[in-house]
Structure 1
Amino acid sequence: MSKAQETVLEIDLSALTHNFNYLKSKLQPQTKFLAVVKAFAYGSDAVEIAKHLQKLKVDYFAVAYVKEGVALRDAGITTPILVLHPQSINFKTLIDYCLEPSLYSKHVLDEFIKITQELSQKNYPVHIKFNTGLNRLGFEENEIDTIVSKLKNSTSIKVKSLFSHLAASEDLNEIDFTNIQIEKFKTIAKIFAKISGYNPWLHLCNTSGIINYPKAHFDMVRAGIGLYGFGNSVEEDKNLKPIASLKSVISQIHSIEKDETVGYNRAYASKGKERTATIPIGHADGINRIYGNGNGYVVINGTKAPIIGNVCMDMIMVNISNVNCKEGDEVIIFNSKYKASNLSEKAKTISYEIITAVSQRVKRIFLP
């Protein structure tokens, strides 16, 4: 593992394998494993992550939007791909690339049936999303009759799965609510099977659901953040390995006097004689302005250096008065030791936000 000489995102594929195997070990042998690779595989690289997971024989992928699925197909991914939030304008493209839609409302169901009929499709696989308490996307339980009626009137689509999404599976203070969601989903599945006459696959669990609610694994689980090394709890984080390390380098060091200011809007004023380092990474690379003014830090030669002043588009400045370093030294924003979850907590946000924000202009390096 070489020292960074520019801003790079290192992606450790062996850590990805570890996380996949750990999460899979929680499942019964017959339970299918869906890997969520939306948002550039949580800020890493969707194509390379999907290629690696396909070699590990993952059963399914999920993306948020049709464009993401197209990119995977163009890269040679042949594993089934569920599109979680498709828009009707993209349905023809979705079909052209053999992607499978989540249908979550009467409007999208009607639109998809219409286009599959126009394209003379037969039993095109779809996934019906139900709302069990997250109140984001999904049909309600009282719409099952309508859904089944539409399905029976068309041979162009076939329901492959029913699914829902847990709202607070990581929060052990919300066990009662999560159990209500699980029972509601089971009721929906039972009613759907009775009215339709067949039993689609069922899937409900995200990463925290996999870990905390084995009774709700059903036919398939959907792992997102866990694959990338975060278990949504201190205890589970120990069992997972963050796959991404965001690194940069010191471009320049300044010595400033008391009351001199640093950066735009003179947001930081020196308390005395201080040394600052300028680093080539900014909010255009994913380091949000919230991390400025002491809310975030980097690590240089094993010592934390607070971000001072406002984060610039392409640069941050840090206080290195107590750091033994020189120009050209490596800078760690986050890695497996100095975790994104720790950095995000200091800024009162979550690891998902910082890792998915890493810009596509940041060079990716893949470690086997």
Structure 2
Amino acid sequence: MTTSVSPAGERLLSGRTWLRIDLGRFEANAAWWIRRLSAVGSNLCAVVKSNAYGLGAVPLSQRMAKLGVPMFAVYTPGESRELIDAGITQPILIFTPMRDLQVSDALAAHVRSGQVQFALHDAVQLDQLNAVGKRLNCRVTAHLYHDTGMSRGGFDDAALAEVVARLAQTPNVRVGALYTHFACADCDADVTASQFARFDAAWARHNDTLGPNVIRHAANTYAATRDSRYVADMARVGLGLWGYGTELLPNDDRPLPIARWMTRIAQIQRLPKGAGVGYEHTRHLKRDSTLGIAPVGYSSGYPITLSNNAVVGVAPPPPPPGNADPQSTDPDKPAGYAPVIGKVNMEQLILDLTDLPWARIGCHVELISDDPHSPCAMETLAKQAQSSCYEMLCRIHPSVTRHYVAG
């Protein structure tokens, strides 16, 4: 994955397509979450799996570490190794069911120290982690996963009781937390409340056995904004750090989107009324039209389901060298919007520029806006694509340059 860094307000002058990541906004978002959780006696666990949803786990985690974020979560051992190699010293929770580790493994020392911790999904894994701890001459830190309705691994109520009773027989495993995961925090308050009640009841039954240093965590971004009870001792926030999944919060007090996907107009042509557009001619022009080509398509991660179903922002032509407006803080701010027409291609989008007569080859195009009120905001496009912000972010291909803009 290619990355670059520039000061705020500087226009990127090269490249076919790039994802602009606003570090100033990001740090403000992280600080917002730290304050919000601290106010109710909870802590932040920053979820940076899948390369921080494609935004760059290392640069973003390094900034969060400086802000005092106390814990990170990833999915694979390799992701934890990447953070450690980048200088992260905070504890790192690995969600995938880890079942073996050799003394020679690069993570062994970090397991011994307790920095690398593991989600515990079943009784067999408990025995396997105990064997790892015996081999490494340490106590492996595990987070017991209580399945309260996600149906994606973990212990149901009966299995949880059995594994808690067996902990005395596995002296090389130390329980660091009991946790669960909400299935419908974004869409169903009743299901979420039911899951939390089940989790809370399990905690009441087992907390004396687990001991005073064991914490609880349950909330993801949506749950953490739905009800302060759900944040427990720690909330696992990923999407909300990037400024998404905050629809339940007041408009004047919420994190802002940090990602803005850009490209350029590569070609412009005039076509007559009635011309068919793109593969399968899914659109025929209703008037003489000006069409533009943007060199991005589904191979870069732009959803084919947005064919004939989205708009992009088009910035005004760049000024001649030396004539930039000194008052402009955002030279890429759209001056108009163009519909995406025809089928999304592998490497191209067709844009209807007819109502933007000033558009020129080279004009910057905003595919996904960092303005939550824009018609091409992430949440808006995700709904139109029958997708989610999670998927929209993760599908942006690594070949798209990540361009970090300092705040």
Identify whether the pair has TM-score above 0.5, normalized to the shorter chain: yes
**Aligned equivalents of 2:185, 2:210: Cα separation in 1:** 30
CA contact (8 A) 1:208 1:232 kept: yes
Q: Report the 3-state secondary structure (helix = DSSP H, G, I; strand = E; otherwise coil) of the residue aligned with 2:131.
A: helix
**Aligned equivalents of 1:90, 1:361: Cα separation in 2:** 33
Name 1:313's counterpart in structure 2: 346
CA gap 1:269/1:95 in 2 versus in 1, 3 angstroms: farther
Name 1:345's counterpart in structure 2: 383
Q: Which 4+ stretches in 1 moved above 6 angstroms? A: none
Q: Is structure 2 residue 170 aligned with structure 1 residue 154?
A: yes
Residue 4 of structure 1: CA displacement?
A: 4.2
Q: Which of 258, 274, 281 lines up with 1:243 in the alignment? A: 258
**Aligned equivalents of 1:225, 1:197: Cα separation in 2:** 32
CA contact (8 A) 1:229 1:237 kept: no
Q: Report the 3-state secondary structure (helix = DSSP H, G, I; strand = E; otherwise coil) of the residue aligned with 1:27.
A: helix
Q: Which of 46, 65, 74 lines up with 1:35 in the alignment? A: 46
**Aligned equivalents of 1:143, 1:26: Cα separation in 2:** 34
Read off the aligned partner of 2:23 and give its amino acid letter.
L
TM-score, length-normalised on structure 2?
0.83
Unaligned residue ranges in structure 2 (runs of 5+): 1-8, 316-334
Q: Is structure 2 residue 86 aligned with structure 1 residue 75?
A: yes
1:202-243 CA-to-partner distances (Å, cap 9, x unmatched) read: 111112222221123221111111110023416446522101
Residue 58 of structure 1: CA displacement?
A: 0.1
**Aligned equivalents of 2:153, 2:353: Cα separation in 1:** 47
Q: Is structure 2 residue 151 aligned with structure 1 residue 140?
A: no
CA contact (8 A) 2:129 2:140 kept: no
**Aligned equivalents of 2:98, 2:284: Cα separation in 1:** 49
Name 2:127's counterpart in structure 1: 110
Q: Report the 3-state secondary structure (helix = DSSP H, G, I; strand = E; otherwise coil) of the residue aligned with 1:167.
A: coil
Of residues 131-140 and 45-54 in structure 1, the stretch that sits farther from structure 2 once superposed is 131-140
RMSD: 2.2
**Aligned equivalents of 1:355, 1:83: Cα separation in 2:** 21
CA contact (8 A) 1:47 1:75 kept: yes
1:141-176 CA-to-partner distances (Å, cap 9, x unmatched) read: 1112321243211221101011011222333xx333
TM-score, length-normalised on structure 1?
0.91
Unaligned residue ranges in structure 1 (runs of 5+): none
Residue 87 of structure 1: CA displacement?
A: 4.5
Name 2:195's counterpart in structure 1: 181
**Aligned equivalents of 1:299, 1:196: Cα separation in 2:** 54
CA contact (8 A) 1:207 1:231 kept: yes
Read off the aligned partner of 1:303 and give its amino acid letter.
G
**Aligned equivalents of 1:304, 1:86: Cα separation in 2:** 46
Read off the aligned partner of 1:163 and give its amino acid letter.
Y
CA contact (8 A) 1:205 1:221 kept: yes
CA contact (8 A) 1:280 1:314 kept: yes
Q: Name whichever structure is richer in helix by fraction.
A: 1
Residue 74 of structure 1: CA displacement?
A: 2.1
Name 1:2's counterpart in structure 2: 10
Q: Which of 232, 240, 245 lines up with 1:231 in the alignment? A: 245
Name 2:268's counterpart in structure 1: 253
**Aligned equivalents of 1:248, 1:39: Cα separation in 2:** 24
Name 2:365's counterpart in structure 1: 331
